Homo-oligomer: A and B are copies of this chain.
Amino acid sequence: MNAIVFQDGRVRFERGYPVPVPGKEEVLVRVSLAGICATDLEIVKGYMGFEGVLGHEFVGEVQAPEGSNLIGRRVVGEINIGCGDCDFCLSGLMRHCPGRSVLGISGSNGAFAEYLTLPVSNLHVIPDSIADEEAVFVEPLAAAFEIAEQVDIEASNSILVLGDGRLGLLAAQVLATCSDDLLVIGRHRRNLAILKARGIQTAVDPGSVTAGALAAGKKFDIVIDCTGTAAGLEAAMSLVNPRGKIVLKTTVAAHRRLDFNRLVIDEITLIGSRCGPFPPAIEALAEKKIDVKPMIDAVYPLEEGEQALRQAGKKGALKILLKI
């Protein structure tokens, strides 16, 4: 099959890569559309030490094994493949299984290929009302919904989203469904315009995120760091209310320091946040509460995967898809 493979520090398009064989309680999925995420770009820089087929955001159709009642169904899939036996797996939190592999990220070939395999329990069937171009956003949208899962948000809470990249735009749309007091600060007028069009308040960062938010003249009960930069957390600390909460969404290679005394004195809570629940993401897309289509910058054929990755790595780039 055709696949985009990362090996020996190089990304390349390969023909004749072996089609994976589904194991017990797994299915074979013919991928139709895949999305490029910041994590893919980090992996190409060496993050996680991964080698193999890249990619973890996808929509596709189940094709095997024979007799599966999912044959022919359009599906998306959770990317963490748990052992099935530990306390985390048994409680439905296989995304925290200590023995997990992760699709296209750790120990498991990914979605930038004609075929992938996943356990049946990882799959979610996509209703007809959701187009492929929307369904491919379910995985990152679930990560945005994880914020609402982890933080008890009240309508009166003031919320600040730092960053207007892919995750920032999804987080902002999710949070707009649960707060009337939301501000998004970013650096890309084009990206912020997508939120503005949906009635979400935005501000352009005049050089540094901190300066931008301070110019807005207030502090916030909840600050979401989607900047993807080492400076984001420090900015969040300076903009959160005493007793406020910071949700940290981005992993960066650089080490970061923090004023932990401030954290103690102001009793701030810092919450690490990663993958999230698929059902609310699918529901929100089906009910058209979240609009992801304006976030698609381009669709490349799989053969041009290398070029697509370069495009996705440009500053302010939104979603680049691979048609397979």
Give A73-114 as 1s and 0s: 1 = Cβ < 8 Å from B's Cβ atoms.
000000000000000100001001010000000000000000
- A243-259 interface with B by 8 A CB criterion: 243, 248-252, 255-259
When A272-B268, A272-B269 are in contact, do A252 and B261 touch as well, CB less than 8 Å? Answer: yes
Q: Which of these, B255, B259, B267, B273, contacts A267 with CB under 8 Å?
A: B273
Q: Which of these, B261, B262, B264, contacts A273 with CB under 8 Å?
A: B264
CB atoms of A263 and B255 under 8 A apart: no
Question: Roughly how many angstroms separate A100 CA and B194 CA in the complex, as a whole number?
Answer: 42
Smallest beta-carbon distance A85→chain B, Å = 16
Nearest CB in chain B to that of A241: its residue? B96
| A263 contacts across to B, CB distance below 8 A | 248, 270, 272
CB atoms of B257 and A264 under 8 A apart: no
A233: Cβ under 8 A from any B Cβ: yes
Smallest beta-carbon distance A123→chain B, Å = 23
Question: Roughly how many angstroms separate A299 CA and B274 CA in the complex, as a whole number?
Answer: 51
CB atoms of B93 and A243 under 8 A apart: yes
Nearest CB in chain B to that of A93: its residue? B243
CB atoms of A264 and B274 under 8 A apart: yes
A266: Cβ under 8 A from any B Cβ: yes
**Chain A: interface residue total (CB-CB under 8 A):** 33
CB atoms of A266 and B258 under 8 A apart: no
| A252 contacts across to B, CB distance below 8 A | 260-261
Nearest CB in chain B to that of A250: its residue? B264
CB atoms of A96 and B266 under 8 A apart: yes
A208: Cβ under 8 A from any B Cβ: no
Q: Which of these, B88, B242, B273, contacts A88 with CB under 8 Å?
A: B242
Nearest CB in chain B to that of A249: its residue? B264
CB atoms of A270 and B267 under 8 A apart: no
Question: Roughly how many angstroms separate A255 CA and B263 CA in the complex, as a whole number?
Answer: 12
A150: Cβ under 8 A from any B Cβ: yes
Question: Roughly how many angstroms separate A252 CA and B259 CA in the complex, as a whole number?
Answer: 10
- A222-256 interface with B by 8 A CB criterion: 233, 242-243, 248-252, 255-256
Nearest CB in chain B to that of A275: its residue? B267
| A256 contacts across to B, CB distance below 8 A | 257-258, 260
CB atoms of A233 and B260 under 8 A apart: yes
A265: Cβ under 8 A from any B Cβ: yes
A155: Cβ under 8 A from any B Cβ: no
Q: Which of A93, A242, A257 is the most central at the interface, judged by chain B CB atoms within 10 Å of its CB?
A: A242
CB atoms of B271 and A269 under 8 A apart: yes
Known contacts A250-B264, A251-B261, A270-B271, then 9 further A-B pairs from the complex at CB < 8 Å, ordered by chain A residue: A96-B242, A96-B267, A150-B269, A249-B264, A251-B264, A252-B261, A256-B257, A258-B258, A265-B274
> What residues of chain A have their CB less than 8 Å away from a CB belonging to chain B?
88, 93, 96, 98, 150, 233, 242-243, 248-252, 255-274
**6 nearest interchain CB pairs?**
A263-B272, A96-B242, A264-B272, A270-B270, A251-B261, A267-B272
